[in-house]
Structure 1
Amino acid sequence: MHGKIVQYSHTTGVGTIINASKKLFDFKIASWHDNTKIPEINLLVEFRLEDEKHNVIDIRSSKYQEFDSESIIKERDFWKTNTDEELEKLESNVFDDLIAETYKKTDYAKLTSIPISISINKFIQYHFENEIKIIKSAYKLPIDNYEKLDYRIVNRFIKRTLDSLICVDRRITKDTFSIYLQILGKLQYFITPFYIANQNAKKVYEEGFLSQQLYFNAANRKLINLKDDILKLKSREKSAKSEIHSLQLKLTSAGVKNEQILKERLATINAIHKECKEKTIILTKIKDRVEKLIEIFKESYKKDFINNFDKTKEQIFEHIKNALNITITSLDNKIWKLGMASDPVKNQFLKLQSNYSFCTLAFIQQYIKTLDSSKLNDNDRLLNIYINKYKERNCKRILIVSNRNEFEMKLKFDILTRYKDFIVTQTNKKVEYLIIIANQKFDFVVIDNDMKEDKPIDMIIQGKNTKLNKNTTFILINEE
């Protein structure tokens, strides 16, 4: 039956559907059988119950989600029907009635061209309506001036980062990220091979554009009827011709009876034969005219349609790629902010001694450390190149020098809480500091002014005298 999701939790995978009778039915994610969408509130669905029980055993999104003023069927029709199949049949019947009404009112003997009922641009806009809506939703997500992550490369690590956050801090659930997951799920469907295969311009033109043209379909219906009428006329003409031949034989035979009746019958059949022949000629001319108009219609719009469709499709795919990048970047920012504000994450973070904030970058870096650089596969090599270039463009490197561990860790955590793309290195010994500063370039070096035994000013001078850090900003800091 048809219904609408009125409640759903990504955390529990449990939701509630309401039907036309205002009855409520609970469902579980295990019963969701739709690869094109994920469950979300206000989604119109088609579902099936287990016998007479109220257990939902099959649920999927309906093909019908919105009904505007130009729709052939309305939302009330959705609630009156139980399945999309019924609704499709109703829609088809309504359209058939419009077609029949149109071809009956049209004089095809005088028709010079078939009008277009839906323009190319309008059809393409309708065709990509769902894609455009979800792209616009993605574009509204904030990325806070951070560089967009590349979905193709880092997608597998986003899920790992999110799952880790939810696992470490039980107070944070997937529902917190429902808007991101909904947008991501829809965008991911738009890059599946199944979806892409169905965006063939010629296929969409023939199966979509032409099938929705009212006057074109009315002309096709008229053509079918003309062919049927011509076949019937030819059949009658053939029968009449056969009877004429039979009557003529009887009239020429010796001792013919009822001659007058046979002559009258012959005259009648000759008139019928003549009428059928004349009508056949007239209808054949109209048939040829309609066939020509149909072919002209198909060919006249085909080239423009394919060009406009392919151009729009290319733009849509580019927007989808960009929307995916925006979505995972915004999602990563959300994970980072919640993660760095979480006490359980903070406690684990302090134990791991990570140089990165709690975000996808940290998990990618952690993964790369486990790899043998001499045996990278193509994907890992691409990942390594990407992340190195990303860090070059975006990451600021900070070195904290302090032998007060608690103060050092607090400062590091505060920096990573404020700046997602900062990489923080720590050292508490002057010897280590001198080695690090000579071999690594930093944007900032923060030195504890209360360093025991070592003189911070001397350390700054020594750092400034290195080749890599002569232009680095050095900062002396007090605990307060």
Structure 2
Amino acid sequence: MHGKILKYSATTSSGVIINASKKIFELRKESWHDPRSRPTVGMYVEFRVNENGYVITDAKASDYQHFSEDSLIKEIDFWKTKTDEELKNKENEARAQIAQKIYAKTNYLRLKTLEVNTGVEECIKKYFAVELQNVSFLKNVDKEKLAPLINYRICKRFLDKALDYLVFTDKKLSMDMFSEYLNKMATLEYSYVFFHKNELSIQKAFEECFLDYQYNYLGALRAASGIKDRILQLSNKVKVSTQEMKMLRNRMASRVGENDLNERINKIKNNLNKSYDETNALTSTLTNLENLTKDFKEKNFKVFEAAFSQTTTLLKSKIEEGLNVLATQLDNRIWQLGMESVSIKNIFFKNMNEPYCMMTFLGHMIKKLDKSKIIAQNEQSTYKYYYYHQSKYVKKYLIFTSNFDTELDLKIKIMKESKNNNVVVVKKDSQCFSALNKEKFEKIYIDTTYIDQKSLKQLLEDSKHSKYNKDTEYVLLSKN
């Protein structure tokens, strides 16, 4: 039957569906059988229940999710039917009625051109309606503010790890808080796999989403079919009349009922002439209709083929971009909540000097790899991706202190400002000298409690001659 999801929890993978009678059904993870999308609140669904009528055994998203003013199927039709197959039949009936009206008022004997009823662009939009809707959110995304975007294909498993660890560690958080991102990514992931693993048949799409909506074209085909039937009838009539004339002429040879036979022969001749004339006229009309339909199909297929290929290429790009955007948005949310989490602070940051985000989990894996043994293409891509990101976007801050509380509070403050802020912590002045001459820092924090004045003065003096940090700002920390 048809229904709509009222509630759904990503944490428990369960929800509630309501049908047209306002009856409530429980939706469980094991009964959802739609690889194209995850359940979401407000989704129209098609589902089946067991014999007692209460437990859902099979559920999936309905093919009908949007009911515009000009669509043949309205929302009320959805609720009045039990299956998508019924809705499809209803839609086909409505289209047949439109075609019949056009057929009835068209003079096919004088038809010179076939006009397009529904344009190629509109038909392709209908064909890819789900995919276009899924990427429509990109119009409202400021990608410049979101940059750099995460590469979803490379980072997915590390994004999952960051999310799972966050929810596991901080009991105040749940998967429901991230369901919007997860549902959108699951839907786009299906589309991504579908486009990259399946070769779409342009010919099939052309017939299903374009020709089936060309009522003038379909009317011409119907008229041509009717004319063929009429020509066949006339041909059979001519054969019968010819045989009858032959028989009558044989009888005339015996001079029996000659006058009556002449009258009958003349009548048959007149009918034959009419049949020949009608056949010639219909044959000419049939040839015209066949040429019109052939030209219509060939001409529009070229336009459709180009537009279809262009749309497919665009959608592949937009789907990949959408996955990258959603992954970045999700990672930003994980970072924000992770940096605010007391549980994460007490556990994660004791030994970590990088923000709580996907890239930290990715880096943790990368640092375990033996560079000389990286052979697999995916590992090489991941390795290059990580170090490219580190060199291009990451900013480092140096903290010199032996006080753990100072270190923890300061590095969390720094990493809250940006998920691309990393810190280096040193506890001795010798380590500080070494770090200054090794890489560039955005800012250097020195806890003066743990360095004598002479060493501090020497450190500041030497920094003026540092290759990397002669212009770096220093912040001196003290108990006061």
Q: Structure 1 residues 13 and 321, CA, compared in 2 at 3 Å: closer, same or farther?
A: same
Q: Give 2:334's aligned residue.
A: 335
Helix, strand or coil for the counterpart of 1:357?
coil
Instruction: Report which stretch shifted further, 439-448 or 397-406.
Output: 439-448
Helix, strand or coil for the counterpart of 1:190?
helix
Distance, in Å, in 2 between the alignment partners of 1:426 and 1:400 is 5
The equivalent position to 2:353 in structure 1, one of 352, 355, 365, is 355
Q: Give 2:384's aligned residue.
A: 385
Give 5+ residue unaligned stretches, structure 1.
Answer: none
Q: Give 1:228's aligned residue.
A: 229
| Code of the aligned partner of 1:71 | S
What TM-score, normalized by structure 1, do the two folds share?
0.92
Q: Give 1:87's aligned residue.
A: 87
Helix, strand or coil for the counterpart of 2:444?
strand
| Code of the aligned partner of 2:290 | E
| Code of the aligned partner of 1:117 | N
Task: Tell me how far 1:321 sits from its aligned partner.
Answer: 2.4
Helix, strand or coil for the counterpart of 2:192?
coil
1:433-467 Cα shifts (integer Å, max 9, x gaps): 23333333323221112215474332233344333
Task: Tell me how far 1:121 sits from its aligned partner.
Answer: 2.8
Q: Give 1:35's aligned residue.
A: 35
Task: Tell me how far 1:164 sits from its aligned partner.
Answer: 1.6
Q: Structure 1 residues 261 and 59, CA, compared in 2 at 3 Å: closer, same or farther?
A: farther
Identity %: 32
Distance, in Å, in 2 between the alignment partners of 1:415 and 1:94 is 63
Q: Give 1:58's aligned residue.
A: 58
Task: Tell me how far 1:203 sits from its aligned partner.
Answer: 4.2
What TM-score, normalized by structure 2, do the two folds share?
0.92
1:181-236 Cα shifts (integer Å, max 9, x gaps): 12212222222235774655454333321221121111112222222222222223
Q: Structure 1 residues 354 and 475, CA, compared in 2 at 3 Å: closer, same or farther?
A: same
Q: Give 2:319's aligned residue.
A: 320
Q: Please state if 1:307 is matched with 2:306.
A: yes
Distance, in Å, in 1 between the alignment partners of 2:329 and 2:220 is 51
Q: Give 1:443's aligned residue.
A: 442
Q: Give 1:113's aligned residue.
A: 113
Instruction: Report which stretch shifted further, 318-327 or 51-60.
Output: 318-327
1:130-179 Cα shifts (integer Å, max 9, x gaps): 33332232453577544111222222221221112112123211111121
| Code of the aligned partner of 2:51 | D
Distance, in Å, in 2 between the alignment partners of 1:97 and 1:250 is 54
**Superposed counterparts of 1:170-185, under 5 Å:** 170-185=171-186
Task: Tell me how far 1:273 sits from its aligned partner.
Answer: 3.5
| Code of the aligned partner of 1:221 | R
Instruction: Report which stretch shifted further, 258-267 or 197-206.
Output: 258-267
Give 5+ residue unaligned stretches, structure 2.
Answer: none
| Code of the aligned partner of 1:239 | V
Q: Structure 1 residues 221 and 33, CA, compared in 2 at 3 Å: closer, same or farther?
A: same
1:378-437 Cα shifts (integer Å, max 9, x gaps): 111111111111122211111111011221122112212232111111111223223333
8 Å CA contact 1:407, 1:479 repeated in 2: no
Task: Tell me how far 1:364 sits from its aligned partner.
Answer: 0.5
Distance, in Å, in 2 between the alignment partners of 1:264 and 1:195 is 76
Distance, in Å, in 1 between the alignment partners of 2:348 and 2:273 is 98
Distance, in Å, in 1 between the alignment partners of 2:263 and 2:338 is 102
Q: Structure 1 residues 5 and 142, CA, compared in 2 at 3 Å: closer, same or farther?
A: farther
Q: Structure 1 residues 102 and 73, CA, compared in 2 at 3 Å: closer, same or farther?
A: same
Q: Give 1:410's aligned residue.
A: 409
Q: Give 2:99's aligned residue.
A: 99
**Superposed counterparts of 1:10-21, under 5 Å:** 10-21=10-21
Q: Give 1:367's aligned residue.
A: 365
Helix, strand or coil for the counterpart of 1:413?
helix
Distance, in Å, in 2 between the alignment partners of 1:135 and 1:248 is 79
Q: Give 1:397's aligned residue.
A: 396
Task: Tell me how far 1:374 sits from its aligned partner.
Answer: 0.9
Distance, in Å, in 2 between the alignment partners of 1:209 and 1:36 is 24
8 Å CA contact 1:464, 1:472 repeated in 2: no
Task: Tell me how far 1:287 sits from its aligned partner.
Answer: 0.9
**Superposed counterparts of 1:152-171, under 5 Å:** 152-171=153-172
Equivalent residues, number:
477
Q: Please state if 1:132 is matched with 2:132.
A: yes
Task: Tell me how far 1:469 sits from its aligned partner.
Answer: 2.8
Distance, in Å, in 2 between the alignment partners of 1:458 and 1:243 is 127
Q: Structure 1 residues 109 and 475, CA, compared in 2 at 3 Å: closer, same or farther?
A: same
Distance, in Å, in 2 between the alignment partners of 1:479 and 1:297 is 85
| Code of the aligned partner of 1:385 | K
Q: Give 1:430's aligned residue.
A: 429
Distance, in Å, in 1 between the alignment partners of 2:456 and 2:436 is 14
1:264-299 Cα shifts (integer Å, max 9, x gaps): 655554444333333222221111111111122123
| Code of the aligned partner of 1:149 | I
Q: Give 1:244's aligned residue.
A: 245
**Superposed counterparts of 1:178-327, under 5 Å:** 178-194=179-195, 197=198, 199=200, 201-253=202-254, 266-327=265-326
Helix, strand or coil for the counterpart of 2:380?
helix
